[in-house]
Structure 1
Amino acid sequence: MHKNILIPTDYSRNAFNAIVYTFELFKNIDCTFYIFHSYFLQHSARGNFLFPEPEPSEYDAAARHSAEKMIFLKNKVNLLADNPRHTIYYDHKFGSFIDLIEEKVKKNDIDLIVMGTRGVTNDGEVAYGRNSVNIMENIRDCAVLAIPSNISYRNINEIVFPTNFKSHYIESEMKTFVKIAKQGNSPIRILHIGKETNLTERQKNNRSQLENHFKDLEFTYHWIDSGGVKEELLTFIDERESGMIAFVNRKHWFFGSAFTNPLVKSLGVHSKVPILALHDSRT
């Protein structure tokens, strides 16, 4: 199955690391990669009375600067892009980051967005960069894979999938998830949050649907008490040295209500585990 993958870049080291990781992760899959940069003049928003409208020369200067950076990045990527199964396109454009990403997702029929967890600022005290959070919260048409800046690719020994079985799964995104697991022969560890005996009929149906998605994969069930989710999930991952986390990001759930909690901070700042954010079909 061919995959269309969008890799936003801010020309940072973290963004380049995400490119390298992605090429290796999908080395055995036919892919078209779209490496994309958006640039924006902070005072260019119309109706902003605090700043005058930028001169055409300012737009031209920003465009030239972005083009120069993209040429440098392209030359750097070409040194490692020797996979005949991969096709790479490069683009940069002026405008709002989220608006342009949404445009690229629809125009190029994107299956997956991959990006670093932090960008140019690389603030060690910030769990996720603003762009990473915005994409995971606002781009609902495809899965998002966030790559920590301090990791290199290694075979994914297992993928942890925390769930309370209350989500409805998007078929196309689950196929991307399964594809990642299959190519690395990575078993799925379904980590149920809550008590096994207290499932509603809806939860049981969702569990059956999930098992159907994973029918060609090895998977096992594990349970953690809902009272200590953050700590127990982190302990589970650390003790097993799990290679990836995948979860269904119900809108404004993971990053909205939990953005400042220890789980997200730990995963974003200290973790060496990539995070695959899927979406609930009802949001």
Structure 2
Amino acid sequence: MRRKILLPTDFSRNAWDAIAYAVDLFKNEACDFFILNVYDYTGFALDNINVPQAHNEYSKTVQEKSMKGLERILQQLSFRDEGSDHNYYTISKQDSLLSAIKEVVELKDIDLVIMGTKGDTDALNVSFGSNTVLIMEKIRNCPVMAIPPDTLYADPTEIVFPTSYKTHYKKRELGYLIDIAKLTNAPIRILHVETSKELNETQLNYKQLLEEYFADLEHSFHTLDKNDIGAAIELFVQSRNSGMIAFINKKHTFFGSIFSQPLVKELGTHSKIPVLALHDFRN
């Protein structure tokens, strides 16, 4: 079965790096890649009595720029992606980034969104940056992977999966984490940031479930005694030179409650390694 992957772009270098990362990550997989450019000219105004005509001309120019940019990406991909079972489709839309991604995810039954964390602030396009965090939070029916600037693809040395052991994960919610671990032969490192001395019975049960889910993969359990979850993850990742972070955004619990706090901004816009945001499909 072919994977369907959405690649938003604002034609910045970071957006191209994210596209290249996605293509290399799935180089041996059958994939349909949908490359999306969103443009917006709602703030456009002219001191001219013939505004409608001027606006229409400007609209056409903006749309043409978007289409030409997408054509250039297809040309670049044709030079570097020979021999792979990959199909590429381009989508140009006047819309907000979030709205456009939501629509395409639904219409095309997208499996995964991969996007950069920085972008141009050109008036015709949408800067990624804080929008990446918004997408990671709001797109809840498929995973979102954020690729930091200057990231060249390499199989991840390991994937760090932080957890509190306080919530019941379903195996299907971990599907893309398991897929990527198998695809890249990357071990999974389950990281518990300890805020109390011992796990209670419920936590022990959820830890056992993770053991079952990851049974066919190389994995290990780790604990750090630290009150600051973000600092603990950063310390763990840096000390081990980890290659990816994956977490589940569950509303009202652990990570789900910190999307308004600095940690997710660090993960979404300042991380030096790719971040995979999985979601609790029940919310």
TM-score range, shorter chain: 0.7 to 0.9
Instruction: Indicate if the aligned counterparts of 1:7 and 1:35 stay in contact, CA closer than 8 A.
Output: yes
What SS class does the counterpart of residue 141 from structure 2 fall into? coil
* Residues 245-256 of structure 1 aligned to structure 2 (within 5 Å): 245-251=245-251, 254=255
Return the letter of the residue paired with 2:129.
G
1:199/1:193 CA distance change after superposition, 3 Å:
farther
Instruction: Indicate if the aligned counterparts of 2:102 and 2:139 stay in contact, CA closer than 8 A.
Output: yes
Residue 228 of structure 1: CA displacement?
Answer: 3.2
What SS class does the counterpart of residue 11 from structure 1 fall into? coil
Residue 99 of structure 1: CA displacement?
Answer: 1.4
Q: Following the alignment from structure 2 to structure 1, what is the Cα–Cα distance between the partners of residues 3 and 268?
A: 27
Return the letter of the residue paired with 2:200.
L
Instruction: Indicate if the aligned counterparts of 1:7 and 1:115 stay in contact, CA closer than 8 A.
Output: yes
Q: Following the alignment from structure 1 to structure 2, what is the Cα–Cα distance between the partners of residues 120 and 170?
A: 38
Q: Which residue of 2 aligns with 1:138?
A: 138
Stretch deviating more after TM superposition (92-101 or 110-119):
92-101
What SS class does the counterpart of residue 114 from structure 1 fall into? strand
* 2:281 equivalent to 1:278: no
* 2:47 equivalent to 1:33: no
Identity %: 38
Deviations 1:174-212 (A, max 9, x none): 2211110011111110001224722342x3443333223
Residue 41 of structure 1: CA displacement?
Answer: 1.2
TM-score, normalised with respect to structure 2: 0.85
Instruction: Indicate if the aligned counterparts of 2:142 and 2:278 stay in contact, CA closer than 8 A.
Output: yes
Q: Which residue of 2 aligns with 1:16?
A: 16
1:34/1:222 CA distance change after superposition, 3 Å:
same
Instruction: Indicate if the aligned counterparts of 2:111 and 2:143 stay in contact, CA closer than 8 A.
Output: yes
Stretch deviating more after TM superposition (252-261 or 86-95):
252-261
What SS class does the counterpart of residue 152 from structure 1 fall into? coil
Instruction: Indicate if the aligned counterparts of 1:4 and 1:112 stay in contact, CA closer than 8 A.
Output: yes
Residue 11 of structure 1: CA displacement?
Answer: 0.8
Deviations 1:54-80 (A, max 9, x none): 832232222112112111222122211
Extract unaligned runs of 5+ from structure 2.
Answer: 45-50, 123-127
Return the letter of the residue paired with 1:191.
L
Q: CA RMSD in A?
A: 2.6
Q: Which residue of 1 aligns with 2:95?
A: 95
What SS class does the counterpart of residue 79 from structure 1 fall into? helix
* 2:262 equivalent to 1:261: yes
Return the letter of the residue paired with 2:180.
I
TM-score, normalised with respect to structure 1: 0.85
